[in-house]
Amino acid sequence: MSDTRVLAGSVGRFRTNGRGRNYGMSQSSFVASMLAPPSIAPLRDEVDSLRREKLDLHSQLFEAAQIQRKLSGPREFRHGSLQFASEVFAARFLSGDFTTFLKSGSKVLMAHGDIAGKGVAAGMWFTNLAGLLQRYGRPYSDPARIASEINRHLCYLRPVAPFATAFLARIGCNAGELTYCNAGHFPPILLRADGRTELLEKGGPLLGAIEGAEFELGELILEPGDTLVAYSDGVLECRNAAEEEFGVDRILAALRHAESPSAQATLMRLLATLQDFANGSPLCDDVSLTVIQRDAKCRLAG
């Protein structure tokens, strides 16, 4: 007795256990339907849904980046005899680099720094740090005291809070007096009008690393024609196709050749030099620059 069942009215051939049996077109369609792949409609719907979610995420990240830029303060402004210009470029949507300005009377409090990490997490911590600067920072505040308070807060949040570096400066925009505290940040460069350079290193350790850390102040006068440049490690570590790093020497060379009476023009010259050096290579880290420039001719008022 055969173990193969054949439906009535069959034509064609179906072989099981070495024995041939005929089957009809209706059975052929049945077998084909059994072997056909599942419908791709659900898969297509899922892909479309993921695409919409991706576009929505990009839109939200773009909006968050705009908010972050607003919290960072103006890209360019003048106060007294000083010009200020800054720019931040994120390696991954949101930046861990930051630059902020608080103004009151003839004073400006400037903060330029870098939160450890990149992308969304660093960007979220930026809002926390911006709030701390608003809380503890005033244009007349002591930069070392501000660094101490922020350090205490970040240490309290360990191990969740990231480390951060910051260059904090209180600047008198008429006479050019500058009091600063460098909390673990790469030392900004001061290019004097006569070509001399100074590195602003006084301060203390990076923020959030040592509980109860002490911070000291540095003081100087921005003379007419002087230029100060603060930068992040993303500038120094920017690489070209040959894997060479940009480094401090190239910042100095670009700064010396800028010869511009405008802080914004000096900033653009530095960025153009950095872009030419990278020659299309992607950013390895967030990039930020702040330029403060005192007018070459200005009244020496208090």
Q: Could you report the per-residue pLDDT of 192-234, keeping only the tens digit for each?
A: 999 999 999 999 999 999 999 999 999 999 999 999 999 999 8
Contacts of 286 (CB under 8 A, 6+ apart): 88, 89, 90, 91, 95, 96, 97, 114, 118, 122, 232, 234
Tell me what percent of the residues of the chain surpass a pLDDT of 90.
44
Question: What domains can you pick out in the chain, each with its CATH number?
Answer: 56-294 (3.60.40.10)
Contacts of 125 (CB under 8 A, 6+ apart): 96, 115, 117, 161, 162, 164
pTM, whole model, 2 decimals? 0.77
Residue 34's pLDDT is what? 55
Residue 26's pLDDT is what? 54
185: number of Cβ within 10 Å: 25
Residue 22 has pLDDT above 60, yes or no: no
Q: pLDDT tens digit string along 158-177? A: 888 889 999 999 999 999 99
Determine the Cα–Cα distance for residues 116 and 95; give it in Å rounded to an integer.
10
Q: Which of 184, 267, 199 is nearest to 233 (CA)?
A: 184
Residue 28's pLDDT is what? 53
Q: pLDDT tens digit string along 264-283? A: 999 999 999 999 998 877 77
Residue 284 has pLDDT above 80, yes or no: no
Return the top range by mean pLDDT from 103-117, 128-142, 188-202: 188-202
Pick 83 or 66 by higher pLDDT.
83
Query: Tokens representing 51?
Result: 């695409």
Residue 59 has pLDDT above 60, yes or no: yes
Task: Please provide the distance, in angstroms rounded to a whole number, between the alpha carbons at the two ends of the chain.
Answer: 115
Determine the Cα–Cα distance for residues 247 and 234; give it in Å rounded to an integer.
10
> Under a CB-based contact definition with an 8 Å cutoff, are residues 191 and 197 in contact?
yes
Determine the Cα–Cα distance for residues 301 and 298; give it in Å rounded to an integer.
9
Q: pLDDT tens digit string along 235-251? A: 998 888 888 999 999 99
